Amino acid sequence: FSGGWPNYARRLVEEVSPWFCIFFVLYVTLVIFTLVRIIYALFIRDTMQAAEGDAEQLLRKRASEKRALTEKLTELFRAADTSGDGFLSHDEFKEILAYPNVQTWMAALGMVVQDHEDLFGILIEGEPSERGISWEEFLHGIMRMKGSVREQDVLCNMRDIRRILKHCQALRS
C-alpha cells in the first residue's frame, strides 16, 4: 500500500536533510487521503446508480400494475354493463357486486364493499346521471378508492357532505 516510499524517504532524510521528513509525511497523507476519497466516490456512484435503477424499476412496475388494473376494470365494467349502453345502472352495479369473485377481487384491491349504495354514490362524480355511472367515472372512482379504509371513509364523508350541501342549497331556494 505504501508503494515503497519509506525506502526512498529514509535515504533523503538520512543523507540529504531531515526536513524532507515533513515533505514525505504531507505527501503520503495527501496521497492516502486522495485514494480513499476516490474509492469512496466509486462506491457512492455505484450505490446511487443501483438506487436509481431500483426507482426506475419501481416506476415501471407501478405503471404496469396500473395498466393491468385498468384492463381488469374495463373487463369488469363490460361484464357488468348488460344493457350495453356504456353506463352502469344501479341495478347492474348491484348485480355484479353480488358475485363472490368480484367481492374477493375488490377486497384484494383494498376496497371493502359494505354497502352498495355508498359505493355507487362514491363512484358517481358530481350530479348523478339517470343513465348511471360512465366508464370514466367507474375507473376514476375505483382508482381513488383503491387503498386504505381511511381513504374510503374520507370519500364516503365527501359524498355525504356534497349531499348535505345540495340539500342546504335546496332549502335556501
Q: Note whether 87 and 110 are within 8 A (CB).
A: no
What DSSP state is assigned to residue 114?
-
Q: What is the pLDDT of residues 146-170, one digit of tens each?
A: 765 566 677 777 778 888 888 899 8
Residues 88 and 47 placed together within one structural domain of the fold: no
Same domain, 89 and 44: no
Q: Is residue 75 part of a domain?
A: no
Residues 115 and 143 in one domain: yes
pTM of the model: 0.54
Assess whether 87 and 29 both reside in one domain: no
Q: How does pLDDT run across 107-148, given as a tens digit for each residue?
A: 777 776 666 677 777 777 666 667 788 888 888 888 877 765
Domain count along the chain: 2
Alpha-carbon gap, residue 48 to 73, rounded angstroms: 37
| Residue 97 sits in the same domain as residue 168 | yes
Q: Within this chain, do residues 98 and 149 fall inside the same structural domain, yes or no?
A: yes
Question: Which structural domain range is residue 141 located in?
Answer: 81-173
| Residue pLDDT, tens place only, 110-119 | 776 666 677 7
Q: Does residue 73 lie within any of the structural domains?
A: no
pLDDT of residue 127: 64
Q: Is residue 68 assigned to a domain?
A: no
**Is 113 in contact with 97 (CB distance < 8 Å)?**
yes
Question: From the CA atom positions of the chain, what is the Rg in Å?
Answer: 34
Is residue 138 within 8 A of residue 89, CB to CB? The reply is no
Place of cell 538520512: 14
107 and 144 in a single domain? The answer is: yes
- Is the same domain home to 25 and 54? yes
Q: Give the model confidence (pLDDT) of 33-81 as tens digits.
A: 898 999 999 999 988 888 787 778 888 898 998 898 889 888 888 888 8
Which among 52, 78, 51, 62 is positioned nearest to 138, based on CA atoms? 78
In a shared domain, residues 168 and 119? yes
